[in-house]
A and B are shown apart, each in its own frame.
Chain A
């Protein structure tokens, strides 16, 4: 069941630097697992409470990145998601301010609390994405930023004297805003998602969905899904990480029916049927943000926050970060995988992002 001792290591680099290990003590290697029947209540299940208390005390980190052309409603959507003024909207900028020449990365941190749970939320905005005439390689600053966060975490993890809790600045979720043209994805969208779906969890979102009728919406969604599949873009929740049948069926349902979510964002309230709801007022009616008949904002919110938030963090930590780490330790090392960290050399962070694995 468990490893008693490390297996003998035979790589040359290791043995020449490390002194010969002490002769192993006489202990049995593999204990046998025996199923035991409990004759009465012990209290093992109190560990759940203990764990819950512990996590409430330490608090959570969540980093969400929004990417899309300006004017698609990114800041409004984030504000609607977290029901507060998380980002200042671009329309409040001074008119004379120019569009940034290159893609900028702006990370703003907030602390929000609900029900005793404290969350440090960081929203990473990317003004300037897709706004220039020539948008070639405009995803590179974003990829570089994401890799830098992984690098920071890796450096902390590799320290001799480590912090008790390493601050987590890695991007857990990237909302990509698709323009509601009604036709298909743009080449820029495809390129971005192709490059970044391998380093971060991408959730594609159709912005300003109130410009499409229901039929147009479902057609557009189908077309987008098909295009993503044809181009081999794996958006979150990725098919390859479904653990069991339950996960698979649930995720399949989300993947094939709901995603990409067609959302409308708003932080203004209006009176509808005696209730105050968030919505957009137009001459032909009020679009309720949280009404499932009008748009899929509620689905997105439930998906990201209420059910899959921890999962987003898990996938980032266990898969994307590990992939980055493995690649980083293998680069310039030339040693076969499975060797220890001490068998390779970490070069300094390259100026261009690491080549994405094909």
Chain B
């Protein structure tokens, strides 16, 4: 029965323990007293503490202080080790017009030359192309999936442009939902293909958002974390860039587009995240070409009038984007996708199918009751249909029988008629036969008498009679 395969487990062997796991190991230290050891506590913000206390009071949970080192502070390490063994998954969706620099930016971000070729501008529909790569860095394995839109914004009629993107995102959620709803499921083995972040590439016109951009972002903001970036930022001057950014943000806000905000609840990264939030959208330049600047080789774009360095913060916001996307908030992006966007999708999908949590009298209605009700309804419906079909069948049979009977009767009548006709014919023939026989008898009688008469006369007259006989015979004939 238990054929589920187990995930790779973390085993932190004692000798592999990182030093911070047992800093207070007592066995070797000499003058340590258990009672006097104060367990280390981090300072929680006061509001959190009172919330916890209230919750604890409600649930009758006591807070304990331990008198020695137990060792479960290695728990995060155990968890992390397990995740390392399993590997991480990260999926990026790049939406932007053809030729705006999506592939180059991704190459630059991950410092690799992902194989790709330039796409044509003449696709009739927008398509999405997904490719998965495995990246290794120290002991971390990352399964990176890059999804690119091909042909976005190229068509003359752009009405259908953003629908394939929405459909793709929904399809990934759907796949995950299906896996979650299975009876025999293996979620820990599941390769998560849900999109964690969407980089939306804005054209550096310097004016404002295009209508297509606005529409697309408005549709996508409830489904995925959107980070807008200004592509090819080396075509705008510094002053124009500032104005452009302000204009963009105000347009997004006034249209109610919810882009991803870097989280500010963790003190260690709150400050930097808050400041980064003010730099959105990031103006980026991508390049994999190396140019010699000073005495170093840096990634840059060489122009006759100068060199735009990708990793120079004065030139563009590329470093900020990389920091935010990868180094600081990758985990948060994954978490938001799972807890907010996916849950929203799931809720909508299940409600669409008619399941609710609360019944008509506001009593909590469990999924099974709803389903039970639906099932009854369904079975009732099916029963009714079956009955209907049965009835119809019976009806048809009856009709057919009637027709056949009718035909039979007709045949019978015909038969009778024929028989009668035949009978009559027969009788007629019998009659005729009788007559004929009578005639034959009469004739033979006559013949007999004439022969007798003939013999007598022959004897009397000799040859005269012969002539007479001949005459008679010829008369008689």
Interface positions of A (Cβ within 8 A of B): 1-6, 16-18, 22, 24-28, 31-48, 50-57, 60, 62, 81-86, 108-117, 119-120, 155, 158-162, 164, 240-241, 243-244, 246-247, 250, 269, 274-276, 290, 301-302, 305-311, 314-315, 318-319, 322-323, 325-326, 329-330, 337-342, 344-348, 357
Contact = CB atoms under 8 A, between A and B. Distances in A.
A247 B81 CA distance: 13
Nearest to B16: A307
A237 B175 CA distance: 33
Interface stretch (B369-377, B411-419, B459-467): B369-377
A344 B183 contact: yes
A108 B56 CA distance: 12
Interface in B25-79: 27, 30, 32-34, 39-42, 52, 56, 59-79
Contacts of A162: 343, 346
Given A2-B193, A35-B134, A25 B64 contact: no
Interface of B: 1-2, 4, 6-14, 17, 20-21, 27, 30, 32-34, 39-42, 52, 56, 59-80, 82-84, 88, 109-115, 125, 127-140, 142-143, 145, 163-164, 167-168, 171, 174-175, 178, 181-185, 187-188, 191-193, 266, 268, 322-323, 326-332, 335, 339, 343, 346-347, 350-351, 353-357, 366-368, 371-372, 374-375, 378
A199 B332 CA distance: 34
Given A41-B137, A160-B356, A318-B7, A1 B132 contact: yes
A244 B71 contact: no
**DSSP class of A's interface residues: helix, strand, loop or mixed?**
mixed
A27 to B, nearest CB: 5
A269 B56 CA distance: 31
Contact of B10 (A35, A305, A311, A318): A311
Contacts of B62: 108-111
B60 A109 contact: yes
Contacts of B330: 44, 46-47, 50
Given A27-B127, A83-B68, A116-B42, A50 B328 contact: yes
A241 B188 CA distance: 14
Nearest to B9: A311
Contact of B266 (A44, A57, A318): A57
A26 B131 contact: no
A345 B182 contact: no
Given A24-B171, A117-B76, A38 B137 contact: yes
Contact of A25 (B136, B167, B181): B167
B168 A43 contact: no
B350 A160 contact: yes
A109 B79 contact: no
14 contacts: A6-B174, A31-B145, A33-B143, A35-B133, A38-B112, A42-B322, A45-B140, A51-B83, A52-B76, A240-B2, A306-B74, A314-B82, A340-B183, A345-B371
A250 B355 CA distance: 47
A128 to B, nearest CB: 21
Contacts of B356: 160
Contacts of A1: 132, 143, 145, 191
A347 B75 CA distance: 37
Nearest to A241: B6
A22 B164 CA distance: 12
A158 B58 CA distance: 25
Contacts of B355: 160
A27 B169 CA distance: 11
A19 to B, nearest CB: 8
Nearest to A1: B132
A48 B84 contact: yes
B153 to A, nearest CB: 17
A278 to B, nearest CB: 8
